[in-house]
Amino acid sequence: MAVSTPVLWLLLFLVVFVVVLFSALGRTRFTPQKVSMIGVMAALSFVAYEFFRIPTPSGSSFHLGNTFTALTSLLLDGVSGGLAGAIGLALADVVAGDPGYALTTFILKFIIGLVCGTVAHKVFHLHDLDGAGKGKVKYMTAVTLSSFSGLLVNVFTDPFLGYFRNRYLFGQTVELASVVAKVASGVTLVNSLLSTVCAVLLYLALYPALKKARLLPGLRENRIRAH
């Protein structure tokens, strides 16, 4: 039997994701300190979703679990942030009795982390920016856009991947899967906006303290600029 076009698109999406995943992991060093922080952030993601979510009839939920995916990406790197969110929220799906969502959750949260980390550290070089004086506006802009970048991508990838999951894993009709995807898009947008605000506030509060205590692995000290 010939494979339908939607299935081919889904397989292509998964193949691309696996390639990106292994490429990213190959360049990331996992020190005990970094692994510990990923574990803590994964636990916070789990708690934020499991105990403070508001379910909707479509199967989506209002929650702040993505906050810690973005936050970890800003503090460490994209792969670490992606793993923190993917592990914590996929586990939350399993514990909540929704194992069918765990696979897509893992993929979606990892994508959030990769995008946030790439924008933060490859585009803005966030840890090298000066957050005081004349550089404060640029710094705040970089933090906000870095946080929102991955969460904005999730507004599109969540309903997209969710549609295929609902059609081919859960057996929903085309009409029902389409309606659920539209509802999920709106819920995800609200989650993304709220998570961005929380991630920015937490980063601005935690980064200076963690930097001073030397608890951020691999952090390079900002260069002192000549005046």
Mean pLDDT of successive 10-residue segments in the chain (227 residues)? 57 71 76 93 96 80 94 96 94 87 91 96 92 85 97 95 88 92 93 97 95 77 38
* Within-domain flag for 15: no
Give the span between the Cα atoms of 59 and 132, in whole angstroms: 43
Q: DSSP states of 47-90 as a string?
A: HHHHHH-EE-TTS-EE--THHHHHHHHHHT-HHHHHHHHHHHHH
* Within-domain flag for 7: no
Domain count, the chain: 1
Q: What is the pLDDT of residue 28?
A: 82
* Within-domain flag for 124: yes
Q: What is the pLDDT of residue 71?
A: 98
Instruction: For residue 40, give the nearest of 211, 212, 219, 210 by alpha carbon.
Output: 210
* Within-domain flag for 23: no
Q: What is the pLDDT of residue 4?
A: 58
Q: How many CB atoms lie within 10 A of CB 32?
A: 8
CATH number at residue 134: 1.10.1760.20
* Within-domain flag for 224: no
* Within-domain flag for 54: yes
Q: What is the pLDDT of residue 17?
A: 78
* Within-domain flag for 101: yes
Q: What is the pLDDT of residue 227?
A: 37
What pTM was estimated for this model as a whole? 0.87
Main-chain phi, psi angles of 61, to 5 degrees: -145, 145
Q: How many CB atoms lie within 10 A of CB 100?
A: 15
Give the span between the Cα atoms of 42 and 89, in whole angstroms: 7
Domain range for 175 is 29-212
* Within-domain flag for 177: yes
Give the span between the Cα atoms of 65 and 35, in whole angstroms: 19
